[in-house]
Amino acid sequence: MGCTPESFKRRTDADALNQLNHSLKKRHLHMIAIGGSIGAGLFVGSGSALSRGGPASLLLDFAIIGIMMFNVVYALGELAAMYPVSGGFYTYATRFIDPSWGFAMGWNYVAQWAIVLPLELTVAGLTVDYWEVDISVGVWITVFLVAIILINVFGVLGYGEEEFWTSMLKLCAIVIFMIIALVCVLGGGPSDGKFDEYWGARLWYDPGAFANGFKGFCSVFVTAAFAFAGTELVGLAAAESENPVKSLPGAVKQVFWRITLFYILALTFVGLMVPHTDDRLLGANPLIDVNASPFVLAAKDAGLIGFDSFMNVVILFSVLSIGNSGVYGGSRTLTALAEQGYAPKIFAYIDRAGRPLPSTILIIAFGCLGYVNLSADGPTVFDWLLALSGLSALFTWGSICLSHIRFRRAWAYNGRSLDDIPFHALFGVWGSWIGLLLVLLVLIAQFYTAVWPLGGGVNDAEGFFKSYLALPVVIGFWVAGFLWKRTGWLRTHQMDIDSGRREVNWAAIHETRKRHASWPIWRRFLSHLF
């Protein structure tokens, strides 16, 4: 069965009847973009990454993933401003690449967030254990799961408000951490503490900037990808915003600040204050061991009473925020899959308040997987769940870049001008090519460490799939989509570039572009960037 403009028209008619609540405001989108994905990957996972690769590998790998994400989000911003439809990037893969690949990306994204939710709930429970509270982790998982349920009772507005205030807390905490870290590195710490004299970059010399050589460098990529997962949610949220053409471009530009200030700069200070040989960074599963958080360790070593507990509270709210984002992202994508016939029709139901209840309930139900960590075999099960979610985001990001490349090709094929696109990716189609190339390089680097892991030798089958499980899962979804719908790679003339476009105020856009054209080159560049 081929993919024709008529089939996309039917899909768009379904979108017109879609009753998702369009109540997300500009401030919500901005905070989702700048702080929405800051969670366990940055605060906790960076500890295992630091121990494997050293401070230099930590910075380089996060910077490379940051460059990739910069281009991915701009490509997504251009597509989402043009087509703010339910399902976001999954719909773009269906429209511009291959419906079977869109099926794979949609279900891969649902699976990713369904697994991330119990992982984040477990991290939240272990975060409380930092204070040595004599209460089972299972009790805390229940408490936090109920909190997420209550937030989702208020639908997308509840998600938007929670993300706004939680992101504010995360960003303020990171700024406070960086200010205190700067004072400590310069020797302004307490007189009886570790940083009572000029500290500088001594840890880059002893024990060294790199650890485990090239393998250590390659092994950090999966943690960096995990830390940036969720950045694409700003495009998914566009379908439920008041005016995506007006609010989305500004939100996309905030990604620059998050990458430079709240990832690169914060991790620079972490590498200056915590040695990669610190035994406290190591553990059986560093990604879900709060004692491995280098932010908490740096705060404790600073010698300021209560600073480590403050950072631990921030981590607690951060992982709950990512858990809530998982419910949002997974449920909206599952609803879009059902609307297009790629999931049971019951998941297409949206109540009068604009909440996709069946989809939300299913994703929340996956939170109960957090309890498996309480059993003797729980950590083994959880290792496999973590393997499933670790690389999933990379396939999503590569799909976004390829969708943008093929959209631009179809746009030119139909004789359309770039002036008819309301928001342009900063580096155009070349930025998407760079993003796609970096995705492929990271997948190759992760394959290298999956076959030849740290410590030498060749990995066994179990070790390999724990590192690379996402690839066979995505291929399986792709094959399932092909067998179900019998669709193939779309030709340029088959791509639908008109359905689903929301009306925009072209007079205001042309006036803004005219004003920007009168500015000097340096001011235009800064305007595009910031």
Please list, in sequence order, all residues whose beta carbon lies within 8 angstroms of the beta carbon of residue 49, skipping any fewer than 6 positions away: 57, 58, 61, 219, 220, 223, 224
Confidence (pLDDT) at 379: 56
Task: Judge whether 327 and 364 are in contact, CB under 8 Å.
Answer: yes
CA dist., res. 80 & res. 71, Å (int): 14
Tokens coding 18: 């879609």
Confidence (pLDDT) at 20: 53
- Which spans in 208-293 are helix H? 213-219, 221-228, 233-236, 244-259, 266-273
Identify whether 87 is part of a domain. Answer: yes
Confidence (pLDDT) at 1: 40
Confidence (pLDDT) at 137: 78
Identify whether 134 is part of a domain. Answer: yes
Confidence (pLDDT) at 284: 36
Provide DSSP, 68-93.
Answer: HHHHHHHHHHHHHHH---TTTHHHHH
The total number of structural domains in the chain stands at 1
Q: 19 to each of 9, 156, 259, how far by Cα in Å?
A: 18, 12, 34
Identify whether 510 is part of a domain. Answer: no
Confidence (pLDDT) at 9: 45
Condensed to tens digits (0 to 9), the pLDDT of residues 258-275 reads: 777 778 899 999 999 999
Backbone angles phi, psi at 293, to 5 degrees: -70, 115
Sign of CA dihedral 29, 34, 37, 38: negative
Q: 135 to each of 123, 126, 127, 139, 143, how far by Cα in Å?
A: 15, 11, 12, 7, 12
Provide the phi-psi class of 193: left if phi over 0, else alpha when psi is between -120 and 50, else beta: beta
Domain at 316, CATH number: 1.20.1740.10
Domain residue limits at 387 = 5-501
Helix, strand, coil percent content, the chain, rounded in steps of 5: 75, 0, 25
Task: Judge whether 520 and 134 are in contact, CB under 8 Å.
Answer: no
CA dist., res. 195 & res. 213, Å (int): 29
Identify whether 423 is part of a domain. Answer: yes
Identify whether 513 is part of a domain. Answer: no
Identify whether 182 is part of a domain. Answer: yes
Confidence (pLDDT) at 82: 82
Tokens coding 176: 């406070």
Identify whether 528 is part of a domain. Answer: no
Residues of the chain with pLDDT under 50: 1-18, 283-290
CA dist., res. 489 & res. 511, Å (int): 39
Report the Cα 36 to chain-centroid distance in Å. Answer: 8
Confidence (pLDDT) at 12: 43
- Is residue 413 within a helix (H) or strand (E), and if so which, with residue range? helix 392-413
Confidence (pLDDT) at 410: 93
Confidence (pLDDT) at 362: 93
- Which spans in 129-220 are helix H? 137-153, 155-185, 213-219
Identify whether 518 is part of a domain. Answer: no
Beta bridge partner(s), residue 24: 241
Report the Cα 99 to chain-centroid distance in Å. Answer: 23
Q: What is the pTM of this model?
A: 0.85
